[in-house]
Amino acid sequence: MPVHKQEFAKKGVSGPRGTAMVNFRPLVSATSQRRLSALLPSVLTFAVIVASGGLLLVIEKGMLNNMETPPPRGNGKNANLEQVRHLDQSVDVDSQVLKEIRNRTIRSMCSQKNMPHNVWSLTPLQRRTVLQHILVNEEHRFLYCYVPKVACSNWKRMLKVLSGALPGVDAKGKMDHRSDLLFLSDLQPEQIRHRLRHYYKFMFVRDPMERLLSAYRNKFGEIESYQKKYGAEIIRRYRKGRSKDANIAGDDVTFTEFVRYLVDEDAERMNEHWMPMYNLCQPCAVTYDFIGSYEQLEDDSAHVLQKVGAPPHLRFPERQSWYKPVTKETLHYYLCSVPQKLLRELLPKYILDFSLFAYSLPNTTAEHCRH
């Protein structure tokens, strides 16, 4: 399917409008300068694309807002109903305009000569990463690229139900993320080519900073294996006086320490829970038919299930009772606790996630953080 026919859906996202851009100033250290100089061309490219998209959005939204709708008729109860319908229509208009902006952004970026145009033009490491994150369902002929911390556990559960490995989405038991699942990397090159060409392909995305915070709270606050493997190492690297400490539990990593660790990591070799979504799913090398959003998870999941011909009674599972959502207030608190200079170093690693999927860069100015 050509890029311009891709479907995207996301509601309630401001996208490029009103984005409080963080000023990417050259940093003092030589290491930081080398890191940012390598990223500068892509940052500038996407700044132009996003700025162009934002202008287009303002123009189109302004034109659409000038279109008058008929006044409500009947009694007050019907008038309220009409107001609700009008609000829903307004949201739908926003979604359609944002979808067009995303389509144009992806088309602009992916058409550049230096961008990959299929999985075989990726480096071996990039290709291995994406193929290991695309799940295959043969019964309904679709491919799903899973992104950790974007409802992937429930989607894996759905795949197991559709393949008959689970009796239902509410089946009890701990989720096994490997068994009874077929990965694209398990197949031979010709089989991979055939499925990429003929199967329905989709992925889901989430606000990049919200996803990072979710990973931080889950892995360093609840999972002992991550505390021992990553938490202890982060503390040795970034906490004064602990570099040679052999007895570190790793369960008290601060969010600022986590961000310092991400700044120093190679994006292509990160753990999948904080690797950029772009690196995980390579949306230029793989032409996805649909990109859903975490913010619109229920509606977008229903759309995908309908597209792949899932049984009508099958519904995407609800979030677990123990799930701790990342609220805007929580995200604001954590981001404002990180030095702005450090955030300026971090954001370029995720600039493609922000740009391609129309998420606003976080506003962490001193004035904003005071509120």
DSSP string, 250-286: -----HHHHHHHHHHS-GGGS-TTTS-HHHHH-TTTS
How much is the pLDDT for 216? Answer: 97
Say yes or no to pLDDT of 44 above 50: no
Kindly state the average pLDDT of the residues 24-32: 43
Residue 161 is encoded by which pair of tokens?
């139900």
274: which 2 tokens? 């904080």
Strand, helix or coil for residue 143: strand
> Percent of the chain at pLDDT above 70?
72
246-to-11, 196, 225, 228, 232 alpha-carbon distances in Å: 48, 47, 16, 11, 9
- Per residue in 264-288, pLDDT (tens digit) is 999 999 999 999 999 999 999 999 9
d(CA 318, CA 338): 33
- In one-letter notation, the amino acid at residue 153 is S
Lowest mean pLDDT across 100-104, 352-356, 365-369 = 100-104
Residue type, 324: K
Which of 56-70, 101-115, 234-248 has maximum average pLDDT?
Answer: 234-248
Distance CA 371, CA 367 (A): 7
pLDDT value for 330: 95
60 inside domain: yes
The better pLDDT of the pair 76, 355 is held by 355
Q: Is the pLDDT of residue 320 over 90?
A: no
The answer to whether 346 touches 264, Cβ cutoff 8 Å, is no
Element (H, E) at 293: strand 290-293
Residue 238 covered by a domain: no
Specify if 263 maps to a domain: no
Residue whose pair of structure tokens reads 């984005």 in the numeric block: 19
Q: Is residue 228 part of a domain?
A: no
pLDDT confidence bin for 260, thresholds 50/70/90: very high
- Tell me, what's the pLDDT at 317? 84
Please give the average per-residue pLDDT across 319-344, as a whole number: 88
pTM of the predicted structure, to 2 decimals: 0.77
As a whole number, mean pLDDT of residues 233-252 equals 93
State the Cα–Cα distance between residues 349 and 39, nearest whole angstrom. 8
* The pLDDT value given to residue 101: 79
Residues recorded for the chain: 371
Interval 144-149 mean pLDDT? 98
Q: Inform me whether the pLDDT recorded for 37 exceeds 60.
A: no
Residue numbers of the domain that contains 132: 3-215+273-370
Identify the residue with better confidence: 4 or 149.
149
Q: ∠ CA 96-361-288 to the nearest 5 degrees?
A: 45
Count structural domains, the chain.
Answer: 1
Average pLDDT value over all residues in the chain: 80
| Beta-carbon count within 10 A of 55 CB | 12
Quick check: 98 pLDDT over 80? no
Q: How far apart are CA 232 and CA 319, in angstroms?
A: 30
- The confidence score (pLDDT) of residue 5 equals 44
255 — alpha (psi -120 to 50), left (phi > 0) or beta?
A: alpha
The most distant pair of C-alpha atoms in the chain lies apart, rounded to whole Å, by 76
CA 138 to CA 182: how far, in whole Å? 9
pLDDT band with cut points at 50, 70 and 90 for residue 10: very low
Buried b or exposed e, range 4-34, using 16+ CB within 10 angstroms = eebbbbbeebebbbebeebebeeeeeeeeee
Q: What is the pLDDT of residues 150-205, one digit of tens each?
A: 999 999 999 999 998 888 887 776 677 788 899 999 999 999 999 999 999 999 99
- So what's the pLDDT on residue 205? 94
* Structural domain contains residue 66: yes
**Is residue 229 domain-resident?**
no
Provide mean pLDDT across the span 70-84.
Answer: 46
Strand partners, 183: 135
C-alpha 279/C-alpha 147 separation (Å) is: 10
For the cut 80, the answer to whether the pLDDT of residue 68 exceeds it is no
Residue 356 belongs to some domain of the structure: yes
For residue 262, is it within any domain? Answer: no
